[in-house]
Each structure stands twice: as structure tokens, then as C-alpha cells.
A and B are shown apart, each in its own frame.
Chain A
């Protein structure tokens, strides 16, 4: 499945020319995302899918901050599936995370 590409459109709209805010928000996302990903992966390893759903819920906001509308919808569906103990979309979700991480390295 082809995923959408991250972008700074939302961040730039919020910043409205405020470069400090833009830099600060990007740095927060760079700092928070790896921690949230690690907590998510740990819950998957423990097969605690209810907990995984909580982590996806939190990561979802980062997905939207990076302008990933299609990926955001996938995350919503994945969160619901995890609540039903179904991790079948794990690989797609991991691809989304990888997509975001690679983008964050470029900015």
C-alpha cells in the first residue's frame, strides 16, 4: 500500500511565520516520537493490545501534525482493531512510523 508523504503544511499554518515556534514544535516531535514508538513496540511485544491502542492514539496526533491524512485514517482504524485485540495492520503502521522518522531526519 502506498502511503502519503509527510509535510510541514500544518506546522507552517500554525507558525504563521513564527520560525521559533516551527523549530520548537519540530524538535518536540523529534524528541517525543521515538519514545512513543518504543512504548508502542513494547506493548506489542507483550501482546498488550489495549495498551498498544493507547499508544497509537497518542502517536496519531504526531501523524496529523506531519500532514499525513491518509496515514491518520489508517491509524484510526488500527487503533480500533487493537482494541479488539487484532494487530493485523501492524506492518502498515510500522511503515507509517518509518516514513515519519525518515522525514524528521531531513528537517
Chain B
């Protein structure tokens, strides 16, 4: 997993780096002593995980999260226990580490990321319609594994699914879910009459489209890119006048 560290304290960054060194899956791509530089970096780079200090001058960790349109997974690091409740208001926050961070506690946080989940199974088996594969339906419920819990998502409520490294972000009507899986895997579990892959990083629920431009669609408030190769199929799906 590609990670960055954002902490204004050099000692804290050195400690986080050392803790990451012990865990093979983690690669520190960059470190930043302020949130602004991290935002600039994220404008042109993607990462899987951010170790983020809450308490930074002028621009706090929470301010930073709010500026990210599609935040990756975040582990908050802080010397203050008082922010724990605020921290978990954000779907992207996986854990909250109070300094001084011990190797054992750090390993537990990383394990949480690994357990954050993979798409497991649908509740109902597909109801096969032998005549036409594209009309194959599944039950309305998709269960995803998040923090050792199987969380039910009502499939018709799903608006967009975005690939994010080893994870996918499922944006539903009321809530977003980050799941360890791939677009290919989830595409196989979704009813093809509702969902369409419009870009290598996006699957959309075609019934949620608000507006279409040449190379993008608007779903809720998200502008989703549509690749040239997928545009034709998208247009065929729509009930055009």
C-alpha cells in the first residue's frame, strides 16, 4: 500500500516511518510537515493510506480531510484522546492512534485496514433468465465486509463505484463504503441492467444519471468520466428521445 505521512513534528514522522518499515505491505511514498503540501501532492498522485496528524498549525487534520474529494484510507495520529468521536465521523478514517504509538498498536491499526474488507457475497443467488444474460438479476442486497462486519447495502441505492488502488469506494444514496476489492469482482455481483462500467475506474448506476456531457455524466454531485470506448454502450442503454 502506498502511504504518505502528514505531521508537522519531525520526531513523529520518523516514528511513523520506523513503524511502517516493520510492515512489508506499507511503502512510504512521501512525508509532509504541513497539510497544504500534502494536498498539492494528492492533486497529482494517488495513495492508498495517509497517516495524518490532527493537531497542526493553521490547517488541522480535519480541515485536510474535508478538502479531499475522494479521500483514501486515513489513520489519524494524535496526542489528544478527545477527538476520537469526531474522527470516526469520517468514513475514510480507519483508526485513531494516540501518541506515543507502540508497535503493537500500530500493527493492530494496519490489520484493521486489511480487514476493512473484501466484497463477500450476495444474499440471494442470481435468478437466472436463460434467454438473456444481460437481464440476469440478483437480490437487492449486497453484503460487504467492513471492519469484520458484514454490512448490507441496498443495491439499487448504489450510485457510483470507484476503483481506488486495492480498494473500491461504493457511493450509495446515504453513505459511502470503502471495501477491499476490485471493480471487476463487484461488477460480477451487480445486475447488469442497472450498472455499467463507463471508465476503467468507475461503474455507475445508469438510473442515477442526472446529466450527460460528451465525456462525462453527472450523478448526484459527482462528475464521472466516460471513456470513449464505453460511451456507445452507455448511449444505447438510455431511453433517448
Contact = CB atoms under 8 A, between A and B. Distances in A.
Q: How large is the interface on B (under 10, 10 to 19, 20 to 34, 35 or more residues)?
A: 10 to 19
A57 B100 contact: no
B40 to A, nearest CB: 24
A61 B11 contact: yes
A28 B103 contact: no
Contacts of B103: 13-14, 16
Given A18-B18, A21-B14, A28-B11, A60 B79 contact: yes
Interface string B1-30: 000000011111011001100100000000
Contacts, number: 49
Given A10-B100, A14-B19, A14-B103, A61 B12 contact: yes
B13 to A, nearest CB: 9
Contact of B57 (A18, A25, A31, A54): A54
Interface of A: 10, 13-16, 18, 21, 24-25, 28-29, 31-32, 54, 57-58, 60-62, 64-65
Interface of B: 8-12, 14-15, 18-19, 22, 55, 57, 79-80, 99-100, 102-103
B102 A25 contact: no
Contact of A61 (B18, B19, B22, B100): B100
Contacts of B15: 14, 25, 65
Given A14-B103, A18-B18, A65-B100, A29 B57 contact: no
Contacts of A29: 11
Contacts of B18: 14-15, 18, 21, 25
A27 to B, nearest CB: 10
Contacts of A61: 9, 11-12, 79, 99-100
Nearest to A18: B18
B14 A32 contact: no
B121 to A, nearest CB: 40
Contact of B102 (A13, A21, A31, A65): A13
Contacts of B14: 21, 24-25, 28
A105 to B, nearest CB: 18
Given A14-B19, A15-B18, A58 B100 contact: no
20 contacts: A13-B102, A13-B103, A14-B18, A14-B103, A16-B22, A16-B103, A21-B14, A21-B18, A24-B14, A25-B14, A28-B10, A28-B14, A31-B10, A32-B9, A54-B55, A57-B79, A61-B99, A65-B11, A65-B15, A65-B100
A32 B102 contact: no
Contacts of B100: 10, 61, 64-65
